[in-house]
Chain A
Amino acid sequence: MRVGLFVTCLVDLVRPRIGFAALRLLEAAGCEVAVPATQTCCGQPGYNSGDRASARALARKVLEEFEGFDYVVAPSGSCAGMIRTHYPDLFGDEPVTLDRIGRLCAKTYELTDFLANVAKLDAVPGAFEGTVTYHDSCSGLRELGGGGGGGGGPGGAPPRVAGLELAEMKDATACCGFGGTFSIKFGDVSAAMAEKKCANIAASGADAVVLGDLGCMLNIEGRLRRGGDERTRVLHVAEVLAGSETGQ
Chain B
Amino acid sequence: MQPQSAHFKRRAAAELANAQLQSNMRRFGGRFVAARAKVIGELDDFEGTRTAAAAARDRALENLDVWIERFEREAKRRGASVLFAETGEEVARLVIELCRHHGVRKVTKSKSMLSEEASLNQRLEAAGVQAVETDLGEYILQLAGEPPSHIIAPAIHKSKEQVADLFERAHGRPRTLDIPQMTREAREVLRGHFLSADMGISGGNFLIAETGSVALVTNEGNGRMVTTLPRVHVCITGIEKVLPTLEDLALVMRLLPRSATGQSISNYFTVATGVRAPGDRDGPEHMYFILVDNGRTNLIGGDLHEMLRCIRCGACMNHCPVYQTIGGHAYGWVYPGPMGSVLTPSYLGLENALDLPHASTLCGECGVVCPVKIPLPELLRKLREKQVDRGLRPRSEVLAIRAWSWLAQRPRLYASVTRMAARYLRFLGGGRRRISRLPFGGAWTRGRDMPAPEGRTFRELYARRRVDSGK
**Chain A residues in contact with chain B, CB under 8 A?**
7, 9, 11-17, 19-20, 35, 37-41, 43, 45-52, 54-55, 57-58, 61, 89, 138-139, 141-143, 171, 174-175, 177-196, 217-219, 221-223, 225-226, 234
Contacts and interface: CB of A to CB of B under 8 A. Distances in A.
A185 B358 contact: yes
Nearest to A61: B409
Contact of B444 (A7, A13, A184, A195): A184
Contacts of B191: none
Given A13-B418, A51-B385, A189-B12, 5 more contacts: A37-B459, A177-B321, A179-B362, A188-B16, A222-B449
A226 B411 contact: no
B448 A222 contact: yes
Nearest to B361: A179
Interface residues of B, number: 66
Contact of A186 (B359, B363, B459): B359
Nearest to B463: A37
B443 A187 contact: yes
Given A16-B458, A51-B405, A179-B360, A218 B450 contact: yes
A52 B30 contact: no
B448 A189 contact: no
B405 A58 contact: yes
Interface stretch (B82-90, B219-227, B396-404): B396-404
Chain B interface main SS type = helix
A58 B457 contact: no
B326 A189 contact: yes
Interface stretch (B137-145, B194-202, B232-240, B386-394): B386-394
B250 interface: no
B449 A226 contact: yes
Chain A interface main SS type = helix
B446 A187 contact: yes
A223 B448 contact: yes
30 contacts: A11-B458, A12-B458, A14-B422, A16-B456, A40-B407, A41-B408, A46-B404, A47-B381, A49-B397, A50-B386, A51-B388, A89-B378, A138-B362, A139-B364, A142-B368, A179-B360, A180-B361, A182-B362, A183-B443, A186-B443, A188-B13, A189-B12, A189-B16, A190-B361, A194-B447, A218-B451, A222-B434, A222-B449, A223-B447, A225-B449
Contact of B401 (A54, A188, A194): A54
A12 B459 contact: yes
B384 interface: yes
B441 interface: yes
B364 A142 contact: yes
Contacts of A195: 447
B453 A14 contact: yes
Given A138-B361, A142-B365, A189 B322 contact: yes
Contact of B325 (A9, A17, A196, A222): A196
A175 B321 contact: yes
Nearest to B446: A187
A46 B437 CA distance: 25
B274 to A, nearest CB: 45
A183 B444 contact: yes
A50 B402 contact: no
Contact of B450 (A89, A190, A222): A222
Given A13-B422, A35-B462, A219-B448, A177 B434 contact: no
A223 B422 CA distance: 21
Interface of B: 9, 12-13, 16, 30, 321-322, 325-326, 355, 358-365, 367-368, 378, 381, 383-389, 393, 397-398, 401-402, 404-405, 407-409, 411, 414, 418, 421-422, 434, 436, 441-451, 453-454, 456-459, 461-463
A122 to B, nearest CB: 27
Contact of B447 (A13, A54, A188): A188
A43 B405 contact: yes
A219 B363 CA distance: 14
B414 A14 contact: no
Contacts of B355: 185
A83 to B, nearest CB: 15
Contacts of A178: 361
Contact of A19 (B414, B446, B448, B462): B462
Contact of A193 (B321, B385, B456): B321
Nearest to A174: B321
B262 to A, nearest CB: 16
A175 B447 CA distance: 17
Nearest to A223: B448
The 9 residue pairs across chains A and B that have the minimum distance between CB atoms: A191-B447, A179-B361, A187-B443, A50-B384, A54-B405, A142-B364, A175-B363, A222-B448, A16-B458
A46 B368 contact: no
A89 B379 CA distance: 13
B322 A54 contact: no
B25 to A, nearest CB: 11
Contacts of B443: 183-188
A236 to B, nearest CB: 12
Contact of A48 (B9, B362, B462): B362
